Amino acid sequence: MTRKTQPADVFSAIAEPRRREVIAMLSDGEEHAVNDIVLRLKLAQPAVSKHLGALRKVGVVTVVKRGQHRMYRLHPAGLKPVHDWVKTFERYWTHQVDQIKQRAERKALERMIRMDDGSNPKEE
Amino acid sequence: MTRKTQPADVFSAIAEPRRREVIAMLSDGEEHAVNDIVLRLKLAQPAVSKHLGALRKVGVVTVVKRGQHRMYRLHPAGLKPVHDWVKTFERYWTHQVDQIKQRAERKALERMIRMDDGSNPKEE
DNA sequence: TTAATATATTCCTATTTAGGAATATGTCAA
DNA sequence: TTGACATATTCCTAAATAGGAATATATTAA
């Protein structure tokens, strides 16, 4: 897992494009041996093991020993924190965008009229 | 923005916890001056400017000059790539989990019976 | 113009971390 | 046991990057 310090949270874990590739490959819901991933993604074996270790540490994949292979499988629940976080912004690109923008613009206008430059931390 | 090299994509941009705090603060949909954010999040001003620069570069915030202030506003559409990506896994933690698991286990069993150790890249 | 305020940028440094090379560990087959 | 294969780990190095300090830039006020 690239030495000692690994992404501590799932947001950092998925920031790595290769790890998203690994996730994509595992998103068929099936088990895959490390070497399958090595061949498919054309990465070095240690690199794959490290990425899988990182994903495992944040709960995005699980592993079982099966013979001399370690079979990795996606554990999608590990991605739920990301989903929940970004889902709170979903409404912005659906129908409520206009309302929100209008509210913001109205308030901004108020501020301009009042000449309130924000140097007083009264908003806190 | 922390020197020259900045997160090139939105996944890396939101990996930073402070930047998610900035996003949270802007998620009221209104404009905020840099100094508002400095005061609210208790970060140094250069740090905030750098984070805002990173978020702007990936399209998560927009900025307008207003007097001597730069007013930043959330641009939620910039988060859509993350949303779209993670949304493809939504089904896993809803109702279809069992079907997928069962299919995976059936296939895994086939592999075991065939003693297919995966050393032949026939899956490609 | 000068001073004050708001923000951005540059330089520097420390930390994080991805990848390569080599090696270690573990499992199976002969 | 020995050898082949599968995977993990360690060591090293290079790149990315967060933050601090100092400075630059821009805008407004006097």
> What CATH number did the domain enclosing A69 receive?
1.10.10.10
Q: Is residue A107 part of a domain?
A: no
CA torsion, ordered B10, A32, B93, A92, to nearest 10 deg: 20
Q: A71: distance to nearest CA of chain B, Å?
A: 10
Can you give the pLDDT at residue B100?
A: 61
pLDDT per residue of chain B (124 residues) written in tens, 0 to 9: 444 456 779 999 999 999 999 999 999 999 999 999 999 999 999 999 999 999 999 999 999 999 999 999 999 999 999 999 999 998 887 765 566 666 666 666 555 544 443 333 333 2
Cα separation of B85 and B81, whole Å?
6
Q: Which two tokens stand for residue A47?
A: 């690199």
Q: Distance (Å) from CA B69 to C1' D26?
A: 10
Q: Is the pLDDT of residue A85 over 80?
A: yes
The answer to whether residue B44 is domain-embedded is: yes
Closest residue in chain B to residue A39, using alpha carbons only: B121
Range of the domain at A16: 10-79
- β-bridge pairing A69-74 and A32-33: antiparallel
State yes or no: pLDDT of A47 exceeds 70: yes
**Mapping DSSP to helix (H, G, I), strand (E, B) and coil, where does residue A64 land?**
strand
